Amino acid sequence: MLLRDIAHARTGDKGNRSTLSVIAFDKKDYPLLEQELSAERVRACYAGIVQGQVDRYLLPQLGAVHFVMHASLGGGVTRSLALDAHGKSLSGKILGLELAERA
């Protein structure tokens, strides 16, 4: 199963950091997000983009997992040569992750 089958994602930017929220369509799938989406796995997904650490924040009341990806925007929006590494294109990448099947 792909992450896009059970969740959607949103990204934002601030300076040289990108934020990423993965939100379950149905809160019953939140435990799977918590289990499958570690900071290390997200950093690996964005290898070559994220140059710094990844912080993970659990938001069970919202059915979401939020990440702050440091040193991920090529120096920041005004310094980067990337065309759209600052917008929704980053959220699309995570949705292709393979997940374990639901129990």
Q: Which amino acid appears at position 8 of this protein?
A: H
Decide if 103 is inside a domain: no
Q: Is residue 58 part of a domain?
A: yes
Q: Is the pLDDT at 33 greater than 90, yes or no?
A: yes
pLDDT tens digit sequence for 1-18:
999 999 999 988 777 788
pLDDT digits (tens, 9 = 90+) for 34-90: 999 999 999 999 998 888 999 999 999 999 999 999 977 766 666 555 555 554 578
Q: Which neighbouring-strand residues pair with 68?
A: 19, 55
Is 71 inside a domain boundary? yes
Q: Is residue 68 part of a domain?
A: yes
Structure tokens at 43: 């950093």
Q: Would you say the C-alpha torsion 92, 50, 34, 56 has a positive or negative sign?
A: negative
* CATH number of the domain bearing residue 83: 3.30.70
**Could you tell me if residue 99 is inside a domain?**
no
Q: What is the pTM of this model?
A: 0.86
Across 19-34, average pLDDT? 96
**In this predicted structure, what is the pLDDT of residue 50?**
87
Looking at the 3D structure of the chain, how many domains does it have?
1
Does residue 32 form part of some domain?
yes
Confidence bin at 32 (pLDDT 50/70/90): very high
The more confidently predicted of residues 31 and 78 is 31
